[in-house]
Amino acid sequence: MTYQYFSSGAKLTGLTAQQVNGWTRAAEQSAAGRNAIQAAPAERNTGNHFPVQNTTGGDLEAYSTVMVSTPAIDPTIEAGAYEDAYKHRIALVGEEVDTDDIENIAITQIALDDNAVDGSALLAGVTFARMNGPASKAKATTKNNDTYLTAADSGPCIIIYDPGPANEERIAVVRIGGGGGGCTTQFAIWLLGVPTGGSITIPVTVNSVQENVQLDWNESTSGAVTAFEGHSEIAVDSVTATSPGGGFPFQVMRFTFTDDVVMGHHTNNLTGGSNPYALVDKCCG
């Protein structure tokens, strides 16, 4: 794709050449960032990336949370300028969060000065994010005037990995967008670091009843189904599990539940390998 820049004094509807060039540059950065992400290892942040401008009134650290609600240029008012500025791409204004528990957020991927543009801010997908609040929670939410997420019992964001400690700001791995915390019936679980022993313990809540489910380091799909259906509120034959290699430790396991299931932050008791740990990801679809 060829990106067009304009010289000072060019005739543009409602915009200066500097404004149009700034957003065109952001579109280039976003395209470059998207290509880099596609070529990166699977553990990198993945999802839907768009240019977002920091209009919070202050500088932002990488992986900060902003509220997005409006395009940088209204295409219904400035149609010609919109097309030139964005090259058919979406670009949004990132504002200070002004309400608790909102879903229309983006996570910045780089540090941003006030009014600067992050060409690859993440609106939906899996990302690092600054977080505070209690540990061992399954979800995260926004708080008024905060540029970080807060771990909670409910909220629009799903916590995949929380390193702790509680009530201190830290970098967690979360899923945002795509329905957020409402997606509670499908999960994917990975074991990383090639464990050779041990297990993980997951607090599973169904119908307000929380019980622990243990999965061994070499658990099969059938063994995992039996473990989950051992929960007093999960019916027999209500869980399905698939894995390209039959189960742990080398392949992801994907689970579908007919019950409304919530998985809390797991306890890692894996041993051997290279600092083994698990990722428990709630997903939609």
Of 210 and 88, the one with more pLDDT: 210
Q: What is the pTM for the complete model shown? A: 0.52
Q: Is residue 9 part of a domain?
A: no
Which tens digit of pLDDT belongs to each residue from 88-147?
456 788 999 998 988 889 999 999 999 898 888 988 888 999 999 998 888 899 999 999
Q: Are residues 216 and 144 in the same domain?
A: no
Residues 6+ apart with CB under 8 A from 32: 119
Q: Are residues 213 and 129 in the same domain?
A: no
Q: Is residue 105 part of a domain?
A: yes
Q: Are residues 31 and 66 in the same domain?
A: yes
Q: Are residues 170 and 60 in the same domain?
A: yes
Residue at which a domain ends, from 120, 146, 179:
179
Q: Are residues 174 and 187 in the same domain?
A: no
Q: Are residues 69 and 161 in the same domain?
A: yes
Query: Which range has the top average pLDDT, 28-42, 198-212, 250-264?
Result: 198-212
CA 65 – CA 219 distance, rounded (Å)? 37
Alpha helices in 162-264 (DSSP H): 221-229
Q: Are residues 52 and 118 in the same domain?
A: yes
Query: Rounded to whole angstroms, what are the CA distances from 79 to 12, 61, 68, 87?
Result: 11, 33, 21, 12
Q: Are residues 204 and 160 in the same domain?
A: no
Q: Is residue 197 part of a domain?
A: yes
Backbone phi, psi, residue 32, to 5°:
-65, -40
Q: Is residue 124 part of a domain?
A: yes
Residue at which a domain ends, from 151, 179, 207:
179
Q: Are residues 193 and 279 in the same domain?
A: yes
Q: CA 106, 108, 109, 111: dihedral to nearest 10 degrees? A: 180
The number of domains in the chain is 2
Q: Are residues 175 and 191 in the same domain?
A: no
Is the separation of the CB atoms in 178 and 284 below 8 Å? yes
Which tens digit of pLDDT belongs to each residue from 224-245?
999 999 999 998 888 999 888 7
Give the domain extent around 66: 17-179
Residue at which a domain ends, from 120, 149, 179:
179
* pLDDT over threshold 60, residue 37: no
For residue 284, the model assigns a pLDDT of: 47
Q: Is residue 69 part of a domain?
A: yes
Q: What confidence tier does 258 reach under pLDDT thresholds 50, 70, 90?
A: confident
Q: Is residue 149 part of a domain?
A: yes
Among candidates 119, 178, 107, 114, which has minimal Cα distance to 147?
107
Residues 6+ apart with CB under 8 A from 208: none
Q: Are residues 43 and 164 in the same domain?
A: yes
Query: In whole numbers, what is the pLDDT of the chain averaged over residues?
Result: 80
Q: Are residues 114 and 47 in the same domain?
A: yes
Q: Is residue 8 part of a domain?
A: no
Q: Is residue 6 part of a domain?
A: no
